[in-house]
Amino acid sequence: MKCVTCGDEILQERAELGFTYCTRKACVRENAKGFTVVEIGQTKTNAEYVVLEGAAGERALKDMREGKYRRDPVVVKRESATTDFDVPKVGFRKAKAQRPVAPNRMKFVQALQAQGFGVDEILRRGSYMNLTRSEVVRYMSARRR
């Protein structure tokens, strides 16, 4: 198969993949069609990149319109100005701050742990303090003061 720009022979692998041009810079610049890539920022993980073509692109656009993603998507590269989509701004409530650690509660839990008591026994003995199971476990694994 021949390159549509310069007329040179195209590699068989490129032709099988559907390319009609060779890998010379001039041919690539003239024939390569760009595509739009969207970066979707995720909470506590790496960003996700989506090419806005085909079924996956349509699904990503639908998810963006419905506000599925917590952070606003950012268009990384846009070749043509004709690609237009509307992404609504969504507001999220702020995360609750953890209660500050009360030193007397932590000392109580760690003192009973040092005496060999388990979580259930510490909860029973500290029932007047309204300790929660997660609080006891957190204090047991905390650094000693």
Q: Is 14 exposed, middle or buried (0-12, 13-18, 19+ CB in 10 A)?
A: middle
- CA dist., res. 88 & res. 130, Å (int): 44
Beta-carbon count within 10 A of 97 CB: 6
Q: How many residues does the chain have?
A: 145
Task: Give the mean model confidence (pLDDT) for residues 42-48.
Answer: 72
Ramachandran assignment for 18, one of left (phi > 0), alpha (psi -120 to 50 degrees), beta (any other):
left
Confidence tier at 65 by pLDDT (50, 70, 90): confident
Is 80 exceeded by the pLDDT of residue 111? yes
Burial of 57 by CB count in 10 Å (0-12 exposed, 13-18 middle, 19+ buried)? middle
Would you say residue 79 has pLDDT above 60? no
Q: What is the pairing mode between strands 74-77 and 37-40?
A: antiparallel
Mean pLDDT score of the chain, rounded to an integer? 79
Q: Determine if the pTM surpasses 0.75.
A: no
Q: Where are the domains of the chain?
A: 1-32, 33-92, 103-141
